[in-house]
Amino acid sequence: MENQILGLHHITAIAGNAKRNHDFYTQVLGLRLVKKTVNFDDPGTYHFYYADEVGSAGTILTFFPWEGTAQGRTGTGLATDIGYSVPKGSLDFWADRFTQFKVKQGNKDEKFGELYLPFQDPDGLKINLIESKSEDTRKPWETADVKADVATKGFHSIVLTLKNIKPTAEILTDIFGYKLLEQEGNHYRFITDAVENAAIVDLIESPNEERGYNAGGTNHHVAFRVKNDQILMEFREKIARKGLNITPKIDRDYFFSLYFREPGGVLFELASENPGFAIDESVENLGSSLQLPKQYEASRKEIEKILPKL
């Protein structure tokens, strides 16, 4: 089982104002900031990681908050909706909380036999809180206002919106080991049995929908989890044999990565569990100080002056 894709590792999105993003995810949604670092390619921009207590794979939502970025547009060729698992009976709490904080939200609805509440973050990123049919035993991060009986447990699913699902579905089934679970209209649910949670990828086939524009309020990429960087490289060979252009192994400090664009246009990443987030901070202190990739450490003072105040 260890040499399989183990569901979702993380999802990375684009935000605008860094403080607004930080305050929303830590104070309103009640996630833990487990790592505060910078973009590897743009050290004047933060890279935030929000997750459970320890930054478990399958709970990690990350952001590049580019100040003044243009507004993006969801559409085909993008991951369009993030699904978070929440306890049964908690959606009313969240609807009330979103009303209190003036969060844009929709009405409760049902899909694939599961109740969900759609909302948008301050940049317009689309998220659904979902009462999963299967029991989710993951321990959530709690805050003073968001207790364990209502708190998010990590990812439930990710939605990819595509002109044609067939080539993407082949990547999921032939390489990643997912299987088609069920279908509702143009909405196809794929699942892996390698893990209990963060195991669902939903494909929406929308041939007439406009192509998405990747900027503020949209998802930049979706990362799938593997056990370690040795298995990562085994998957690199499989993907290369499929004729897809895939990067060399990249060291992201907290995991090793590969990137490729799947045939429908969505940027996929494969990310290892090792070495994890506690290599430069203790678990108790995760996210409490700015951590820089080693190539930028000599420029710490200059970078700290540039970064927005939180």
- The pLDDT of residue 170: 97
Per 3-state DSSP, what percentage of the chain is helix, strand, and coil (rounded to 5)? Answer: 20, 40, 40
The closest of 153, 169, 9, 168 to 84, measured between CA atoms, is 153
pLDDT in tens, 143-200: 999 999 999 999 999 999 999 999 999 999 999 999 999 999 999 999 999 999 999 9
pLDDT in tens, 271-292: 999 999 999 999 999 999 999 9
**Is it the case that residue 5 has pLDDT exceeding 60?**
yes
The closest of 242, 248, 114 to 182, measured between CA atoms, is 114
Cβ contact 169:188 at 8 Å: yes
- The pLDDT of residue 235: 97
For 278, the enclosing helix (H) or strand (E) is none
The strand order across the sheet containing 187-191 reads 109-111, 114-120, 126-131, 78-86, 154-162, 200-205, 187-191, 179-184
Secondary structure letter of residue 122 according to DSSP: T
CATH classification code of 8-306: 3.10.180.10
**Is it the case that residue 2 has pLDDT exceeding 80?**
no
pLDDT in tens, 104-124: 999 999 999 999 999 999 999
Say how far apart CA 177 and CA 193 lie, in whole Å: 9
In the structure encoding, which two tokens stand for residue 42, read together? 């743009």
**Is it the case that residue 1 has pLDDT exceeding 70?**
no
Say how far apart CA 164 and CA 187 lie, in whole Å: 12
- The pLDDT of residue 93: 98
**Is it the case that residue 37 has pLDDT exceeding 70?**
yes
Say how far apart CA 14 and CA 154 lie, in whole Å: 19
